Amino acid sequence: MARKKLIAGNWKMNCLLEDGTALAKAVATQVKGGKFDCDFLICPPFTLLGFVKKCLRGTKIALGAQDVHFAEKGAHTGDISPLMLKDLGCSYTLIGHSERRVDHFETNELICKKAVAAHAAGLNTVICIGETGEERDAGKTIKVCQEEINGSVPDDATAKNTVIAYEPIWAIGTGKTPTAADVQEVHAAIRKALAKKLGKATANKMRILYGGSVKPSNAEELLKLPDVDGALIGGASLKADDFIGIAKNALK
Ligand code: PEP
């Protein structure tokens, strides 16, 4: 089953107006100038969404947020609703990134609620899962991923509105990555858990990204694995050449 690869950048809490728009323009220029048989997604901080959207005009690069609230509107100071993201031109939002699970105590239940609200508003979601270093050392990687799939992915998830990102927490921003064999084993187990929850047909079509210290030099090995359908990229998405270099190597 051919799944089109998705190359997604998570800028996290980085970039101000000047460097953020320059980065978006540089990525847009390179995507326009090349032939890429993959989808692209950029998730800048909330403050830059409207500006980045303008820089991406005329390209096939999708715009995404890094989080969303589950409510439509109302008394939720500091939060952003799914419709607000749609209004700004977003077609995606990340949900349940480990940094939100840790910094903001987000639970599987809350993440699932956010995903339902995002889908209802017509947004696609990238739902992030992954184990800590301690869980990995204790041999619990697959169990943790199964639990996070069962708890975070809503029953209305389809291969169109949902992408899963497997991001081992110990690999994020550390320069460390699991072996290719380990990545494939976990992705296959995630697909199996998705099949149990959503049915085999949906699971076979759903994209599962790998995230955690992806760079141009390891992209080819990781992204050619049969159950790896793209990458969620943090640090390396802050340099246009690295972000595009990952896409080029992933498509080799
Ligand atoms: C991330 O936080 O989503 C991520 C994958 O970060 P990095 O690529 O920097 O490890």
pTM over 0.85: yes
Q: Quick check: is 135 in a domain?
A: yes
The pLDDT of residue 231: 98
Residue 127, token pair as written in the block? 């739902």
Q: Quick check: is 177 in a domain?
A: yes
Q: Quick check: is 87 in a domain?
A: yes
Question: Which of 129, 167, 243 most suits a substitution to test ligand 1, by most atoms within 8 Å of the C-beta?
Answer: 167
Q: What is the pLDDT of residues 213-236, one digit of tens each?
A: 999 999 999 999 999 999 999 999
Q: What is the mean pLDDT of residues 5-34?
A: 97
Q: Quick check: is 115 in a domain?
A: yes
Which residue's alpha carbon is nearest to atom 8 within ligand 1?
234
Going from the Cα of 161 to the center of ligand 1, the distance in angstroms, rounded, reads: 22
HEC per residue, 107-142? CHHHHHHHHHHHHHCCCEEEEEECCCHHHHHCCCHH
Q: What percent of the chain has pLDDT over 70?
A: 100
Q: What is the pLDDT of residues 27-40, one digit of tens each?
A: 999 999 999 999 99
Residue 56, token pair as written in the block? 């991406």
Q: What is the mean pLDDT of residues 88-111?
A: 97
Residues with CB under 6 A from ligand 1: 10, 167, 172-173, 211-214, 232-236
Considering only the C-alpha atoms of the chain, give the largest distance between any 2 of them, rounded to a whole number of Å.
49
| Domain ranges, residue 68 | 6-250
Structural domain total, the chain:
1
Q: Quick check: is 1 in a domain?
A: no
Per-residue pLDDT at 1 exceeds 70: no
Give me the CATH number covering residue 76: 3.20.20.70
Give the angle 136-130-99 at the CA atoms, nearest 5°.
Answer: 115
Q: What is the mean pLDDT of residues 17-26?
A: 98
Q: Looking up tokens 């976990």, which residue turns up?
A: 186
DSSP-assigned states of every residue in 142-178: HHHHHHHHHHHS-TT--TTTEEEEE--GGGTTTS---
pLDDT band at 2 (very low <50, low <70, confident <90, very high): confident
Q: Which residues of 55-90 are buried (b: 16+ CB within 10 A; e: fewer)?
A: bbeebebbbbbbbbbbeeeeeeeeebbbbbbeebeb
Partnered with residue 41 across adjacent β-strands are: 8, 62
Q: What is the mean pLDDT of residues 151-165?
A: 97
Which residue's alpha carbon is nearest to atom 7 within ligand 1?
234
Per-residue pLDDT at 54 exceeds 70: yes
pLDDT band at 252 (very low <50, low <70, confident <90, very high): confident
Q: What is the mean pLDDT of residues 50-59?
A: 97
Q: Tell me what the pLDDT averaged over the chain comes to.
A: 97
Q: Quick check: is 81 in a domain?
A: yes
Q: What is the mean pLDDT of residues 67-95?
A: 98
The pLDDT of residue 20: 98
Which burial class, exposed, middle or buried, applies to 46 when counting CB atoms under 10 A from its CB (0-12, 13-18, 19+)?
middle
172 CA closest ligand 1 atom index:
10
Measure the CA–CA gap between 69 and 80, rounded to whole angstroms: 6
Per-residue pLDDT at 95 exceeds 80: yes
Q: Note whether 153 and 198 are within 8 A (CB).
A: yes
